[in-house]
Structure 1
Amino acid sequence: MRTRRLLIGLVALAVVAVASPGVAGATGSPHPPPGPVTVASNLHNPRQIAVGPFGTLAVAEAGTGQVGASDTSIPCGEGPEGPACVGDTGSVTAIFGAWTHRPVATRVVKGLLSVAAPDGSAATGVDAVTFGPWGSLSGIMTAVPADLPPKLARQNGQVLRFTPWGPQPVADIASFSLSHLLPGNLPETDPYGILATRHGTYVADAAANTLLRVSNHGNISIVKAFEVRANDGYDGVPTSIAEHDGNLYVGQLSSLEPGLAKVTVLRPDGKVLKVYDGLSSVTGVAVAKNGDVYATELFTGEPFNSPGALVKISARTGARTVTELPAPGGVAVGGGSAYVSINSVSPTDGAVIRLPA
Structure 2
Amino acid sequence: MSSSRTKALVALGGAFALVAAALMPAQAGTAVRQSADRSGQSSRLVTVTSDLTGPRGLAVISKRKAVVGQADGTISRVVKHPGMPATVTTLTHVPATFIAPAVARGRHHLIWILTAGGDPGTGAATLYKWKPGFTAPKVVADIGAFQQTDHDPFNLADDPGESDPYGVVALGRGALVADAAGNDLLKVNRHGRVQRVAALKPRTVAVPPGLPATDPESGQPIPPAGTMIPSEAVATSVTVGSDGFWYVGELRGFPATPGTSEVWRIKPGTRNAVCDPVHPNRGPCKRYLDGMTSIEDLAPAPHGRLYILELSKMSWLKMELGIAGSDVGGLFKVRRHHVIREMAKNKLTQPGGVDRRMDALFVTGPVFGPGKLFQFR
TM > 0.5 fold call: yes
**Which residue number in structure 1 is paired with residue 257 of structure 2?**
257
Instruction: Answer yes or no: is the 8 Å Cα contact 1:93–1:105 preserved in 2.
Output: no
Matched, 1:181 2:132: no
Matched, 1:156 2:124: yes
Give me the whole-angstrom Cα distance separating, in 2, the residues matched to 1:273 and 1:199.
Answer: 24
**Which residue number in structure 2 is paired with residue 284 of structure 1?**
297
**Which residue number in structure 2 is paired with residue 195 of structure 1?**
169
What are structure 1's unaligned runs of at least 5 residues?
11-25, 64-89, 116-122
State percent identity of aligned pairs.
28
* Aligned-residue offset at 1:40: 2.1
Map residues 1-357 of structure 1 onto 2, 5 A cutoff: 5=10, 7=12, 27-30=37-40, 33-52=42-61, 56-63=65-72, 90-97=73-80, 100-102=82-84, 104-115=86-97, 123-126=98-101, 128-145=102-119, 153=122, 155-163=123-131, 164-185=134-155, 186=159, 187-228=161-202, 232-244=229-241, 245-255=243-253, 256-270=256-270, 271-301=284-314, 303-304=318-319, 305=323, 306=326, 307-314=328-335, 316-322=336-342, 323-324=345-346, 325-346=348-369, 349-356=370-377
Instruction: Answer yes or no: is the 8 Å Cα contact 1:113–1:125 preserved in 2.
Output: no
* Aligned-residue offset at 1:107: 3.4
Moved more, 283-292 or 102-111: 102-111
Instruction: Answer yes or no: is the 8 Å Cα contact 2:62–2:358 preserved in 1.
Output: no
Distance 1:229 1:176, change over 3 A: farther
Give the secondary-structure state (helix, strand or coil) at the position aligned to 1:259: coil
Instruction: Answer yes or no: is the 8 Å Cα contact 1:109–1:162 preserved in 2.
Output: no
Give me the whole-angstrom Cα distance separating, in 1, the residues matched to 2:288 and 2:362.
Answer: 23
* Aligned-residue offset at 1:229: 6.0
Partner amino acid, structure 1, of 2:329: G
Give me the whole-angstrom Cα distance separating, in 1, the residues matched to 2:86 and 2:365.
Answer: 18
1:41-67 Cα shifts (integer Å, max 9, x gaps): 13111113112367631111122xxxx
* Aligned-residue offset at 1:198: 0.8
* Aligned-residue offset at 1:254: 1.8
* Aligned-residue offset at 1:228: 4.0
Give me the whole-angstrom Cα distance separating, in 2, the residues matched to 1:344 and 1:328.
Answer: 6
Instruction: Answer yes or no: is the 8 Å Cα contact 2:167–2:178 preserved in 1.
Output: yes
Moved more, 191-200 or 204-213: 191-200
Give the secondary-structure state (helix, strand or coil) at the position aligned to 2:191: coil
* Aligned-residue offset at 1:250: 1.2
Give me the whole-angstrom Cα distance separating, in 2, the residues matched to 1:8 and 1:46.
Answer: 20
Give me the whole-angstrom Cα distance separating, in 2, the residues matched to 1:30 and 1:52.
Answer: 30
Give me the whole-angstrom Cα distance separating, in 1, the residues matched to 2:62 and 2:173.
Answer: 19
Instruction: Answer yes or no: is the 8 Å Cα contact 1:249–1:263 preserved in 2.
Output: yes
Give me the whole-angstrom Cα distance separating, in 2, the residues matched to 1:8 and 1:114.
Answer: 20
1:183-233 Cα shifts (integer Å, max 9, x gaps): 242231101111111142111111011111111222111001111469945
Give me the whole-angstrom Cα distance separating, in 2, the residues matched to 1:293 and 1:162.
Answer: 27
Distance 1:335 1:201, change over 3 A: closer
Moved more, 45-54 or 293-302: 45-54
Partner amino acid, structure 1, of 2:291: G
Instruction: Answer yes or no: is the 8 Å Cα contact 1:205–1:238 preserved in 2.
Output: yes
Instruction: Answer yes or no: is the 8 Å Cα contact 1:52–1:135 preserved in 2.
Output: no
1:146-171 Cα shifts (integer Å, max 9, x gaps): 6x6xxxx3x22211112431111111
* Aligned-residue offset at 1:177: 0.8
Give me the whole-angstrom Cα distance separating, in 1, the residues matched to 2:96 and 2:55.
Answer: 12
Instruction: Answer yes or no: is the 8 Å Cα contact 2:144–2:164 preserved in 1.
Output: yes
Give me the whole-angstrom Cα distance separating, in 2, the residues matched to 1:9 and 1:274.
Answer: 23
Scaled by the length of structure 2, the TM-score of the pair is 0.71
What are structure 2's unaligned runs of at least 5 residues?
1-7, 16-35, 205-227, 271-283
RMSD of aligned Cα (Å): 2.6
* Aligned-residue offset at 1:125: 4.2
Distance 1:107 1:9, change over 3 A: farther
Give me the whole-angstrom Cα distance separating, in 2, the residues matched to 1:219 and 1:9.
Answer: 27
Partner amino acid, structure 2, of 1:202: L
